[in-house]
Amino acid sequence: MLTTPDTIAEGGRTDNDADGPGFGQGGRDAMRWPGGAGLVIEAGTVPDPALSPVEVIADEAALLPEPGQTLRLEPLVEAGAEVAQGAPLARLRQAPQIALTAPMPGRVAALDLAPGRILSQIVLFHEPEAGRHEHVVAANAEGLRAALQGAGVWRLIRRRPFGGMPPPDERPVAIAVMAVDSRPGAPDPLLAISEAGEAFARGLTVLGSLTDGPVLVVLPVGAGIAGMPDLGGRLRRVIAAEGHPHGLAGMQVHTHHPASTTAPVWDIHAEDVAGIGSFVETGLVPAARLVAVGGDGLRAARLVRTQPGAHLGALSRHLLSPGAHRVFSGSFLEGREQAFLGPRDRQVTVLARPPTPAAPRRPHWFLTALGGASRPRPLIPTAALDRSLGGSLPAVPLLRAISAGDAEGAARLGALSLLPEDLALADYVAAAAPPFSAMFTSLLARMAEEAGPA
């Protein structure tokens, strides 16, 4: 279990300064210092990878936007409609060839759109008899691209800079395939694709048709995948250093093929690559993903296979320890307290809610002084802060540029390869208030607006 220090001398969050998933978590005892330039963060109760995943189909699932993402939709169904798994539910207004599809066979319970037809959520109730929708997949490159977009599989790909799914006609300069994930408690991507070797190789071939540049397969130390295609010499194996954040796409993109406004780079999870390989063979949209359910609010952790967007309660309620809890989609570093699994999340984190003390504990004097400042807390250089960005980025100058809203300076220091999730560890070790990730979200939005349409 993670400990909470009485002071912030060693870095980390405290009970008085965090309002996200890291609340009550942190401190020196929660971190280890591997040989590389990252950190190993102890995640409390985590699933045993030796145990077989349990299949859990939630009664409810939802399509959600990614954090900070604005999706203007043209609905293709109405509330109450019965839909097959993989059937289109809506299409993007600015790119109607890109559809969002049903994560499971079900009935549309709610189709919530904010003003401007902006997606809030589309909720489905499970109806197994609704079946699965089979898409037609052409064999040529343009047909594959059109099929991925029309079946909602395009959404599994994320572009840098600025995040979100790629424009429909974009060709990136490189694609990073993440077969490693260093988030605390994250399921091993290699475990997720252990029985999908042919589908994974087929998915890599599809990705190779979408770019003229290299396809980088990022692996953990000592791991390998047999049977991968050569892609005309464009397939490259990259070994990620031990520790977090080296298992994040942002760090690997920055190190091996930095993104820019004129040279976009895509990233995708290895399990989704196997899903693409299966899709082009069968015409069926992937129906399940491997998810780790962990955290100190559980009696036991477990690995599950469940549908995208599954209700978090269905995945965790039978594992809860007595008492009040907070349930997050994602890890405790960057997760969000919500009802459904996020579009890219492969973790559910359950934290025990601490009891309300009879009298509030007196905060440390240094926290009180910093909290009363008119500016963000000062950035104090530490070894942990440098390691929080993998040692390959100039942590203090970059974070200071982000704090100051210096778009030009942040871009020059490597920010265009990063997304807010890549700064979650820096938030954790620096007890940042406001969080660097939140400031970076605002800065990226301004940079994207200034850059114009992709």
- Give the number of other Cβ atoms within 10 Å of residue 329's Cβ: 27
Q: Which one, of 349, 186, 206, 338, lies nearest residue 272 by Cα?
A: 206
Alpha helical stretches, state H, 151-307: 189-192, 197-209, 249-256, 270-282
Query: What six digits make up the tokens of 152?
Result: 């909602």
pLDDT of res. 17: 36
Question: How is domain 133-286 classified at the CATH fold level?
Answer: Rossmann fold (3.40.50)
CATH 2.40.50.100 fits 33-131+290-355, yes or no: yes
Distance of CA 202 to the CA centre of its chain: 23
Is residue 277 within 8 Å of residue 148, measured between CB atoms? Answer: no
Contacts of 250 (CB under 8 A, 6+ apart): 160, 417, 418, 419, 421, 422
3-class state of residue 99 by DSSP: strand
User: Contact 319/296 with Cβ under 8 angstroms?
Assistant: no
Where exactly are the structural domains of the chain?
33-131+290-355, 133-286, 359-451
* Global confidence as pTM: 0.89
Give the tens place of pLDDT for each residue, 112-146. 999 999 999 999 999 999 999 999 999 898 999 99
The per-residue pLDDT for range 50-87, each reduced to its tens digit, is 889 999 999 999 999 998 899 999 999 999 999 999 99
pLDDT in tens, 288-314: 999 999 999 999 999 999 999 999 999
β-partners of residue 215 are: 175, 235
Indicate if 133-286 has the same CATH topology as 33-131+290-355: no
Q: What pLDDT shows up at residue 33?
A: 57
Q: What percentage of the chain reaches a pLDDT higher than 70?
A: 87
User: Strands 88-92 and 73-75, how do they pair?
Assistant: antiparallel
Which of 453, 454, 424 has its CA nearest to residue 441? 424
Summarised one tens digit per residue, pLDDT across range 232-277 is 999 999 999 999 999 999 999 999 999 999 999 999 999 999 999 9
N-terminal to C-terminal alpha carbon distance within the chain: 44
DSSP state of 132: B
Place of tokens 């298992």: 247
Residue 11 pLDDT more than 50?
no
Cβ–Cβ under 8 Å, residues 426 and 399: yes
